[in-house]
Each structure stands twice: as structure tokens, then as C-alpha cells.
A = this chain, B = another copy of it.
Amino acid sequence: MSHRATLHDVAAQAGVSVASASRALIGGSASLEMISKVRRAAKQLGYVPDATARSLRMGGTRQVVFAVDDIGNLNYVAMLRAIEHEFTGAGIRLNVTATGRSERQTLDLVRSMNSGAGDGLIISPLRVTPALRRALLETVVPVVVIGSLHRDVAIDVVSVDSALAVELAVAHLVATGRRRIAFLNGPLDTHPGASRRRGYLAGLAAAGMTPDESVVEVADDFTIEAGRRSTALLIERRPSNTFDAIVAANDLLAVGAISTCLASGVGVPDEVAVTGIDDTEFAASYNPSITSVSIGSAERGKRAARLLLERFAEPTLAPRTSAVHPSLIARASTGVTRGA
């Protein structure tokens, strides 16, 4: 068997027309005899329908693309699992692609949707540049953004109040007696970076504290390594600029912060309390376990999938926004659940 069997081969083998063969397999009108004849031939030849040809004819791959910046972030893994779960059963396959932090790659990916890469796109971009926004609008298939679009563009969005997440963290630290709260942020040109900074300032203001930029560091990425580097800078400036807490903009940064503190002999949570955001398994399992603000990653994934599914069914629906509420999970890194 040097070549894959096509429907033609099956029809020939069964001694019927391709049309009949197609109907017999798909479930059109066909006699029982026809059905058994064709099925037998198909089995004999090991026939498998060609998805490409079917897509071309039917217009639509039964495939959805999920695009994330950093697949190494468990945050996205949680979304991925939830999305996959929604689609399984709907007979839709999920195509995960990491856009690798480069705008070029992201744009290519988004544009590829117009050439049939999938029937829909779920994307969670760190940076929403004008070019990306335009590309998303020009996409012919439905798009759902997990994150924010900055403007009222006509696209479905699942969002979370990222600033509020940080406010919750700050409030928790204040409530547990911390007085000088440092901030370990990610890049300011990302949406999370920008909004979390706002949340930090709002949180301080709510507590009647004045911000001090000397205890604010901006990591160049939302990763452990970047968190480590920036935390080292923070510590270097001590004790002249001291602090008794660090609010990290996500769990990976928090891990970087804690490991660096400990390696420098700074106790966590005794000397410095640390909080993260995302409530990943990483945070829950770290030592000490990390207080983190859940921004409902699994829930957002689930909602994104449903929005997409609903739009498939009803393409003329007005664009919708679905918001998830953040909630803080207190753990050992802020000293609240010590001994747990």
C-alpha cells in the first residue's frame, strides 16, 4: 500500500460511485446493502477521510487556535486545560501555539487565521500594539481575547480587573502589619504591567501610604529569572531603602523574589512578606507556599471557549465582555498561615 486510499479507491473497490460511497460513510440516504458494501471496502483499504479536502469543500477546519505568549507559565496551562475541556465533545481540536514574545510571530499567527489556520482564535496577548489590534479586527474568523483591548473594539473579551488584584494584595499586606511595600512589576508596556502598577498605587493610596519609587522594580519579563535579577537590585539598595513586603506582579516573579531573598539571607515571611498573582500550582507548592491573588485563569479559559462556541452558533451576536473577579488566597509567604 504505497499510497493512501482515497474515496475513489473505496468506491472502485465497492463497485459503486464516489457519491454513493461518500453518502454511505457520512450518513446520507443509502441502502443498507450499500452501506455495508462501502464500509467493508473502506475497512479493507484502511480508508481515512482527508480532512484537508473536506475542509476545503465544507468551508471550515474544525479547529481552534489558542495563542499565548509564554507556554512556560502555568497560568496559561490552566487556561489551556479549561479551553480544551470545553471543546472536547464539541468535536473541535485545539491548536496551541506559543507566540514567543515577538510581535512578528504574533502578527503572523493572527494573520494566518485568514488563510484557514482555524475556525476561531483565542488569544491572550501580553502586549496589545496598534498593529495587533488592527490584525485582530481584520481577522475573518471569530476572535476572543483573554485580557484587554484598551479600546471598545468589536471583539469578544474575557477580562479580569488586574489592578484590583494588586490592590487586594496590598490590602492584605497592610492588614497583616506590613508598612513598606515594594513592588516587583513586569514590563510596563504590557497590559498586565501597566494595570498592575495602577493597582499598586491605588492600593497604597487606599492605605494612606505614599509611593516610593526606590522600592519599585520593573522586571523585563514575567519570568523567574527576571524576577531574580530585579529582586537582587531591590535588595542591593537595602538597608537604606528598606521594605518589609514585596508585591510581585505574577507568581513567577514571586518565586524569583523569594528565592533571591532567601539566598541573600533575607527571611520570608519574617523579614519580607511576598505575594504573587495567578494562583498557580507553582505558588501553592513553593516553600514557603506563596500567597497569591487568583485571577481565575481556568474560569477565563472556560468563558473564552464558550464565547467562541456561542459566536460560532450565532455569528451576528453583538461583541460581549465577560469579567472575572480576583480573589486572594493567603498562604505562608505572608505569614498568615504559618505552620500550615
0/1 interface trace, chain A 124-154, chain B, CB 8 Å (1 if under): 0000000000000010100000000000000
- Known A-B contacts A95-B97, A100-B84, A286-B287; A51 and B117 likewise in contact (beta carbons under 8 Å): yes
> Are B285's CB and A50's CB within 8 A?
no
B contact residues around A288 at 8 Å (CB): 287
Give 7 nearest A-B pairs by CB, closest first: A96-B96, A48-B114, A52-B116, A51-B115, A51-B116, A287-B287, A72-B77
Of the candidates B52, B111, B255, the one whose C-beta lies within 8 Å of that of A55 is B52
A46 within 8 A of B: yes
> Are A4's CB and B114's CB within 8 A?
yes
> Are B71's CB and A77's CB within 8 A?
yes
Nearest residue (CB) in B for A52 is B116
Q: How many chain copies?
A: 2
Looking at A162-170, A194-202, A209-217, A256-264, the stretch in contact with chain B turns out to be: A256-264
> Are A50's CB and B115's CB within 8 A?
yes
B contact residues around A327 at 8 Å (CB): none
> Are A255's CB and B285's CB within 8 A?
yes
B contact residues around A116 at 8 Å (CB): 50-53
B contact residues around A61 at 8 Å (CB): 52
Of the candidates B49, B111, B285, the one whose C-beta lies within 8 Å of that of A224 is B285
B contact residues around A52 at 8 Å (CB): 52, 55-56, 61, 116
> Are A80's CB and B93's CB within 8 A?
no
A340 within 8 A of B: yes
A256 to B282, CA, bound (A): 11
0/1 interface trace, chain A 91-115, chain B, CB 8 Å (1 if under): 0011111101000000000011011
Of the candidates B72, B115, B117, the one whose C-beta lies within 8 Å of that of A281 is B72
A74 within 8 A of B: yes
A52 to B71, CA, bound (A): 27
Seed contacts A94-B97, A263-B340; 9 additional CB < 8 Å A-B pairs: A4-B114, A48-B114, A51-B112, A71-B96, A81-B98, A93-B97, A95-B96, A259-B289, A286-B286
